[in-house]
Chain A
Amino acid sequence: MHVHRFEKVWLGAALLLIVGFIATIAYGTVGVGVAMVDDSGGTIDAQAVANGETGTGFDDPGVVRQSEDHYVVYVVARQFQFVPGSGDDPIRIPADTRVTFRVTSADVMHGFSVAGTNINTMVIPGQVAELTTRFDEPGTYGLVCHEYCGAAHHTMGGSIEVVPQSEYDYEEVTN
């Protein structure tokens, strides 16, 4: 089989590009520690979530203070709101602390994405999505359901208020 010299050079460059991409992603995972959403959240009964009978933090969703530097936020997504998050019930967390979101659905598939950041997960009934992050900058961040979830999907947004640690009301959250 005859392969032209330019074709060989191109082939080599293409392979180099591909291996380079894989290497940067591997470095991101192993070196920098960019974590993926995976199966660490475990499974859950979606109907129990809907009825508030799971025996977990999802029965009374909100912010839980795990330790001085670690907060866990339980969020239930349902047609067509985040609890907490939507309307006049924003998710309130202190800046520059470790925050773990645990998100699940009470009905259909939803999305959970913080606009303009890489905090982004699918919310699948029966599964708990778990992701840990840190907000350095205080401010209001937009929360979006990015998976079509029914006729009023476009109303399903919310917000996260990141407050400087000095102004954070620790009494508000469950210990």
Chain B
Amino acid sequence: MVFVDAFPKTSKLVRSQFLVAFVALALGALFGIVQALHRTGVLRVISSADYYTILTGHGVLLALVFTTFFIAGLFAWAVTDSLERELPQRLAWGAFWTMLVGTVLAAVAIVGGLIGAPSILGHALKADVLFTFYPPMKAHPLFYVGAALIIVGSWVAGAAYFKSLWRWRSDNPDSRIPLRTFMVVTTMLMWYVSTVGVAVEVVAFLIPWSLGLVSEVDPLLTRTLFWYFGHPVVYFWLMPAYLVWYTVLPKLAGGRLLSDPLARVVFVLFLLLSTPVGFHHQYVDPGIPEGFKFIAMTNTMFLLLPSLLTAFTVVASMEHGARQRGGEGYFGWLRSLPWGNPAFAGCALAGLMFAAGGFSGMINAGMNINYLIHNTLWVPGHFHLTVGTAFALTAMAISYWLVPQLTGTRLRQRTTAVAQPYVWFVGMALMSNAMHRAGLAGIPRRTAEPTYDEFAFRAVGGSVAEMRLQIAVGGLLLFVGAAMFLWVMAATWLAHRGGQLSVNSDIPEPLSGPEHSPRVLDNYRLWTAIALLLIVIAYGPPLLGMIQNGLFAPGSPPIPV
């Protein structure tokens, strides 16, 4: 039975969440192409001062709104489908509306900066503070309130999954938690633990400070609270992609997942190690002793382990699928994979790009070589591979498989859908390789005009002009790729129901099932306790050091953008 017929209520919820996600994707992609063409000097339709408003919109809409809504939808599907029961509707819809109100408030504050900034509540309606909103640069209070509501909404969404699991548990006291629900719950536990940092930053410090109730905040402390959340959020994006790669991709390849127990181990490792790594974003920050940076570095390096294990399992599962389809030889099996199926091709290409992103991430994590590339164009080069491809391309690819099940309509515009992942892949290959190389030349990120009066950048291999061209062409292809995806979605969504769906929603059993995994893996209390302990070790002493001279000192008054 198709998902929409089996679970009509949750289907409607997932459709609503995807709709918001896709609107955010459309706007975010539009802002993205404006930036890429502006920064490379190809086409300029905005002023360089407005570039930062566009950049803020691009970051918030894609990294926060698109991801959070899509994940909320994907998780709602995963929990409902694997536990075979509708989600608690009131909680789930409460989460949706909370997140939506937050999104609208933040969006109004950002867009206000483009249309001449009227004053609301005694503050100029502007929020070009970028996705990281470092104080003492101050946005309109609505921006912070909106960001807080998006986070709180995601917490409520998680509560709906937990409630569903508890109900299932009382009906099935002795069964193992189904893998997809296990992954969702582990991810949400990690999310609860890690969002505490940004919640404290925004609610306890930035909202009162932006309203003028508190005169100063400590920029280093608030920045540290941000990065406490700022790296785990990356895993909040990646773990849903892993959920897809572990549970659906092997089936799309024509086979089965190799090992359910190892998939659980990988997710538990993420829960344990995701949070105590945030200081690696602060390697070049003054005010933090070297020893704490070293601890974060070792944790970060061990966090490579679950991703390396994933690389093995996903590739091995694809190979298994290819051999089921008659593939042979050491590498010959690659030809037997269904490269013409957009859902498969998108996930596989996303995984391939993630390998490249993983390697540049290893460089970022290296405490000493990080100095060469910190805050250069290398960094957006890196996260456009991880978030912008591993997550985003997987989300688009799985939509080709999932949306027909949510709407009951066949995938339309199939030719466009088949080509779309390849367009994205080529666009990203051009843009991100040029960004990485530009970073090595020292060209900074987050700037509207990367040329200076005082000196010129020297490229190592190739030229700065050639890199610029690659970024512009790559950005254009990515914009076209996003438009192709949205076109396919719109056509599918609006099509009339009828006929056979071409997708098959069954997910085959893994080769090695949950019965082979130790029961302790399902002990969430234990893992959460160890995760908290590791965080106390990594964050306790440095945070104490920062607040020794007072929570608000050394303080900075707000400086409006």
Contact = CB atoms under 8 A, between A and B. Distances in A.
B131 to A, nearest CB: 10
Most chain-A Cβ atoms within 10 A of its Cβ — which of B297, B362, B456?
Answer: B297
A107 B559 contact: yes
A148 B554 contact: no
Given A38-B289, A116-B458, A124 B52 contact: no
A63 to B, nearest CB: 17
Interface in B346-373: 362, 365-369, 371-372
Interface in B528-548: 545
Interface string A1-17: 11110110011001101
Contacts of A45: 554
A150 B137 contact: yes
Contacts of B456: 142
Interface string A75-100: 00000000000110010000000000
Contacts of A11: 309
Nearest to B560: A150
A7 B262 contact: yes
A46 B556 contact: yes
Given A2-B512, A116-B441, A120-B372, A46 B305 contact: no
Report the interface size class on chain B: 35 or more
A1 B516 contact: yes
A115 B286 contact: no
Interface in B435-460: 440-450, 452-458, 460
Given A22-B301, A125-B556, A141 B455 contact: yes
Interface residues of A, number: 74
A157 B448 CA distance: 13
B549 A43 contact: yes
Contacts of A29: 290, 294, 367-368
A127 B442 contact: no
Nearest to A143: B454
Contact of B287 (A6, A17, A35, A124): A124
A157 B293 contact: no
Contacts of B48: 154
B301 A157 contact: no
B273 to A, nearest CB: 11
Main secondary structure of the interface of B (DSSP, over half): loop
B265 to A, nearest CB: 8
A87 B365 CA distance: 34
Main secondary structure of the interface of A (DSSP, over half): mixed
Contacts of A125: 136, 219, 554, 556
B366 A21 contact: yes
Contacts of B518: 1
Given A1-B516, A108-B136, A127-B287, A22 B452 contact: no
B5 interface: no
Contact of A38 (B259, B286, B362, B372): B286
B555 A126 contact: yes
A124 B367 contact: no
B554 A46 contact: yes
Given A25-B366, A38-B286, A4 B375 contact: no
Interface string A30-51: 0000111111010111110000
Contact of A126 (B442, B453, B554): B554
A157 B287 contact: no
A116 to B, nearest CB: 4
A154 B55 CA distance: 13
What are the 7 A-B residue pairs with the smallest beta carbon separation, nearest first?
A: A115-B442, A126-B554, A157-B452, A142-B455, A118-B371, A129-B286, A146-B444
